[in-house]
C-alpha cells in the first residue's frame, strides 16, 4: 500500500462515521483528497522540500482522535501545566478535538467572536464557507490538500470593524502521549474587520512522550487598517511531527506581525505566506528556531508585494545544537508595478555544535525598479572569548553559554511583548535559568535607574 493510501483510507473510514455534511464541505473534502492523491507526499526532489524529508510522516500510521479506541485521557493538571500562564480568551483542542472544559471564552468582548470551527459550521456554515479555503486552497502543498480533506475542527475568530481586543486570543493545540499515534488537521480562520486590532497565539504543546502528527492550516484576512499580531509558539514534544501553513491576505494600511517561535517537534515544517494587496500594507516576520538532538525545523516564508508602497521586514534567528538541522528559506516577490516598496530580510544562525546544520536561502525576486531591499544571512558560533570573559567574573559556564545564546536571540525576543511567551522561550534556549538570573529583578533595577 502506498504511503498516501494509508491516509486516504483513514479519510474514507472517517467519512462513513462522520454523518451528513453540507454538500460544499463534502465537495471540498473530495477536492482535497483528489489533489493530495495526485500530488503525493513531497520528496527531496521537490524544490520546496529540498532539505526536508517528510518520510517520518508519510510512512506513519496515524489515527484520528475521533476514531481512536484506546485514548489516554489528558489530566486537567497536565493540561493546566501546559497552558500559558496569561490572561487570555482561550480555545483548546486536544489532538484536534475541541475541549470546552479547557476553554474560556467568558470574557469575550462585544464585536469579537471566537468559536470552534465545528460550531461555526453548525450555526451558519455559509458564512464560514466563503472564507474558508480562500487563501489556502488545495494547490498550495500536499499538506494543505490533506488538511482540506480532513478538516472538521479548529478555530474561527472574527473581529467586527473597529474592535480592539486587549486580551490575547489563545488557541492551544495539546498533544497527548497515546499508545496509538494520532493525527489532527486543524484549521484556523481569522477575519479582522477594518481597523480592528488583536493578538492571536497559536500554541502547540503536549505531553513529553506524545508522538503525534499535526497538520495545521491558518488563514488570516486583514481588512483596511486592521492590525494583527500573530504568535506561533511551537513547543511540541520532541517526538511530535508538525506541519503548518499560515496564509495572510492584507488590505490597505493593514499591519501583520508574526512571531514564529519554534522550540519543539522532531520534524517541523512551517510555511508563512503574506499577500500585500494594497498600499500601506505591512508585514513583519520575526522568527526563532531552537533545535537540539536530531530535531529538524524548516521555515519557509514568502512575502508577495502585490501593490506599490507596501513594506515587509523579516528577522529570523536559528540556534542549532547537537545534530539538529535547520532550514530557512525566505522569499520576497516584488511585482513590476509594485514601486516604492521596502523589503528587508535577515537570517542569522548560531551553531552550538560541529554537527548541527543549517541550510539558509534568501530569495529576492524583484521586478520593480524603485524599491528598497536588503537581505543577509550569517552563520556563526558562540564567541569563546566572551564566554571566558563571563566565566572570569564568576559566572558558571552553562549560564555563560545560556546568556550568550539568549543575547543572540535578543533582536527577536526584544520584540516579544508577552512575558509568558518570552519566558517559555528563554527557559528553553538558555537551559534552566536559575532564579537568580530572572529578568524580573533587572527590569526593576533598570526602571528605577531610568527614574533618576
Partner 1 sequence: MLEVKDLHVTVEGKEILKGLSLTINPGEVHAIMGPNGAGKSTLSAVIAGKDGYEVTSGTITFEGKDVLEMDIEERACAGLLLGFQYPVEIPGVKNIYLLKAALNAQRAARGEDEMPAPEFMKLVREKIKFMKMDSSFLQRAVNEGFSGGEKKRNEILQMLLLQPKLAMLDEIDSGLDIDAMKVVADGVNSLRDANRAILMVTHYQRLLDHIVPDVVHVLVDGRIVKTGGKDLALELESRGYEWVLEESAA
- State the nearest-atom distance from the C-beta of 246 to partner 1, in Å: 28
Minimum CB separation of residue 403 from partner 1 in Å reads: 6
Least separation in angstroms between CB 352 and partner 1: 16
Binding residue count for partner 1, defined by CB under 8 A: 33
What Rg, from alpha-carbon coordinates, does the chain have?
22
What whole-number distance in Å separates Cα of residue 14 and Cα of residue 18? 6
Which residue among 38, 107, 389, 417 contacts partner 1 (CB under 8 A)? 389
Give the nearest distance from C-beta 389 to partner 1 in angstroms: 5
What gap in Å lies between CA 111 and CA 164, rounded to an integer?
Answer: 9
Scan residues 430-449 and list those touching partner 1 (CB under 8 A).
435-437, 441-442, 444-446, 448-449
381 binds partner 1 (CB under 8 A): no
* Residue 380 binds to partner 1 (criterion: CB under 8 A): no
Q: Is 391 in the site for partner 1 (CB under 8 A)?
A: yes
3-class SS at 443? Answer: helix
Tell me how far, at minimum, the Cβ of 90 lies from partner 1, in Å.
33
Counting contacts by CB under 8 A, is residue 384 touching partner 1?
yes
Cβ(175)–Cβ(214) below 8 Å: yes
Pairing of strands 89-94, 97-98: antiparallel
- Least separation, in Å, of the C-beta of 274 and partner 1? 28
State the minimum distance, in angstroms, from the CB of residue 407 to partner 1: 3
Which residues are CB-neighbours of 57 under 8 A, at least 6 positions away?
41, 213, 241, 243, 267
Segment contacting partner 1 by CB under 8 A, of 152-160, 164-172, 334-342, 404-412: 404-412
- CB nearer to partner 1: pick between 106 and 447: 447
Closer CB to partner 1, residue 367 or residue 388? 388
Binding residues among 51-70 for partner 1 as defined by CB under 8 A = none
Cell of 393: 567574573
77 part of the interface to partner 1, by CB under 8 A: no
Q: Name residues whose C-beta falls within 8 Å of residue 306's C-beta, 6 or more positions apart in sequence.
A: 275, 276, 277, 335, 338
For 12, residues 6+ apart whose C-beta sits below 8 A from its C-beta are: none
Is residue 354 a contact residue for partner 1 (CB under 8 A)? no
Q: How far is the CB of 193 from partner 1 (least distance, A)?
A: 39
Q: Residue 369 or residue 452: which is nearer to partner 1 going by CB?
A: 452
Please state, in angstroms and rounded to a whole number, the distance separating the CA atoms of residues 182 and 63: 5
- What is the Cα–Cα distance from 93 to 404, expressed in whole angstroms? 36
**DSSP 8-state class, residue 104:** B
Among 71, 364, 404, 420, binds partner 1 (CB under 8 A): 404
406 binds partner 1 (CB under 8 A): yes
Least Å distance, CB 404 to partner 1, is 7
Closest C-alpha among 10, 79, 73, 7 to residue 37: 7
| DSSP H or E segment with residue 9 | helix 3-18
Query: What Å distances lie between residue 134 and 63, 229, 249, 279, CA to CA?
Result: 28, 21, 10, 21
Which of 38, 85, 410, 417 binds partner 1 (CB under 8 A)? It is: 410
CA distance 291 to 318: 8
Reduce the DSSP state of residue 441 to 3 states and report it: helix
Q: Which of 408, 416, 418, 426 binds partner 1 (CB under 8 A)?
A: 408
Residues 388, 47: Cα–Cα separation, whole Å: 43
Identify the residue whose cell numbers are 520593480: 368
Whichever of 166 and 383 has its CB closer to partner 1, that residue is 383
Q: Does 388 bind partner 1 (CB under 8 A)?
A: yes
106 binds partner 1 (CB under 8 A): no
Instruction: Please name the helix (run of DSSP H) or strand (run of DSSP E) that holds residue 125, with its range, or none.
Output: helix 117-131
Segment near partner 1 (CB under 8 A); pick from 3-11, 54-62, 96-104, 380-388: 380-388
The least CB distance from residue 315 to partner 1, in Å, is 14
> What helix, strand, coil percent values describe the chain, rounded to 5?
30, 35, 35
Least distance (Å) between residue 408 CB and partner 1: 6
Identified binder of partner 1 from the candidate list 8, 366, 403, 420, rule CB under 8 A: 403
> In 3-state terms, what secondary structure has residue 61?
coil
Residues lying near partner 1 in the complex (CB under 8 A) are found at: 383-386, 388-397, 399, 403-404, 406-408, 410-411, 435-437, 441-442, 444-446, 448-449, 452
Amino acid at each position: 500500500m502506498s504511503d498516501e493510501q494509508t491516509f486516504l483510507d483513514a479519510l474514507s473510514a472517517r467519512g462513513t462515521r462522520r454523518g451528513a455534511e453540507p454538500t460544499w464541505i463534502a465537495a471540498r473534502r473530495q477536492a482535497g483528497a483528489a489533489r493530495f492523491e495526485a500530488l503525493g507526499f513531497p520528496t527531496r526532489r521537490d524544490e520546496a522540500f529540498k532539505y526536508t524529508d517528510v518520510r517520518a510522516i508519510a510512512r506513519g500510521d496515524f489515527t484520528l482522535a475521533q476514531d481512536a479506541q484506546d485514548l489516554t485521557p489528558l489530566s486537567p493538571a497536565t493540561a493546566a501545566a501546559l497552558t500559558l500562564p496569561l490572561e487570555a480568551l482561550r480555545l483548546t483542542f486536544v489532538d484536534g478535538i475541541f475541549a470546552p472544559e479547557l476553554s474560556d471564552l467568558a470574557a469575550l468582548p462585544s464585536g469579537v467572536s471566537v468559536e470552534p470551527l465545528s460550531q461555526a459550521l453548525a450555526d451558519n456554515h455559509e458564512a464560514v464557507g466563503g472564507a474558508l479555503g480562500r487563501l489556502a486552497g488545495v494547490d498550495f502543498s500536499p499538506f494543505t490538500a490533506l488538511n482540506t480533506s480532513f478538516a472538521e475542527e479548529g478555530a474561527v475568530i472574527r473581529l467586527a470593524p473597529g474592535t480592539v481586543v486587549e486580551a490575547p486570543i489563545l488557541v492551544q493545540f495539546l498533544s497527548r502521549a497515546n499508545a496509538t499515534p494520532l493525527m489532527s488537521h486543524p484549521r484556523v480562520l481569522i477575519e479582522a474587520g477594518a481597523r480592528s486590532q488583536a493578538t492571536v497565539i497559536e500554541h502547540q504543546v503536549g505531553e513529553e512522550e506524545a508522538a503525534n502528527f499535526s497538520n495545521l492550516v491558518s488563514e488570516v484576512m486583514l481588512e483596511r487598517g486592521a492590525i494583527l499580531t500573530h504568535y506561533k509558539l511551537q513547543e511540541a514534544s520532541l517526538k511530535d511531527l508538525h506541519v503548518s501553513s499560515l496564509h495572510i491576505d492584507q488590505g490597505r494600511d493593514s499591519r501583520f506581525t508574526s512571531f514564529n517561535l519554534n522550540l519543539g517537534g522532531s520534524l517541523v515544517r512551517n510555511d508563512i505566506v503574506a499577500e500585500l494587496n494594497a498600499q500601506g500594507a505591512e508585514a513583519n516576520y520575526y522568527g526563532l528556531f531552537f533545535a537540539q538532538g536530531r530535531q529538524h525545523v524548516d521555515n519557509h516564508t514568502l512575502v508577495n508585494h502585490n501593490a506599490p508602497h507596501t513594506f515587509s521586514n523579516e528577522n529570523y534567528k536559528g540556534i542549532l545544537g547537537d545534530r539538529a538541522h535547520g532550514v530557512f528559506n525566505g522569499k520576497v516577490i516584488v511585482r513590476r508595478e509594485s514601486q516604492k516598496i521596502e523589503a528587508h530580510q535577515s537570517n542569522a544562525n548560531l551553531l552550538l555544535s560541529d554537527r548541527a546544520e543549517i541550510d539558509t536561502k534568501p530569495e529576492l525576486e524583484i521586478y520593480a525598479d524603485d524599491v528598497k531591499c536588503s537581505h543577509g544571512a550569517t552563520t556563526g558560533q558562540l564567541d569563546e572569548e566572551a564566554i571566558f570573559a563571563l566565566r572570569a567574573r564568576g559566572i558558571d559556564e552553562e549560564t555563560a553559554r545560556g546568556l550568550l545564546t539568549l543575547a543572540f536571540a535578543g533582536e527577536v525576543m526584544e520584540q516579544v511583548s508577552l512575558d509568558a511567551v518570552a519566558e517559555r522561550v528563554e527557559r528553553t534556549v538558555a537551559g534552566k535559568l536559575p532564579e537568580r538570573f530572572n529578568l524580573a529583578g533587572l527590569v526593576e533595577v533598570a526602571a528605577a535607574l531610568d527614574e533618576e
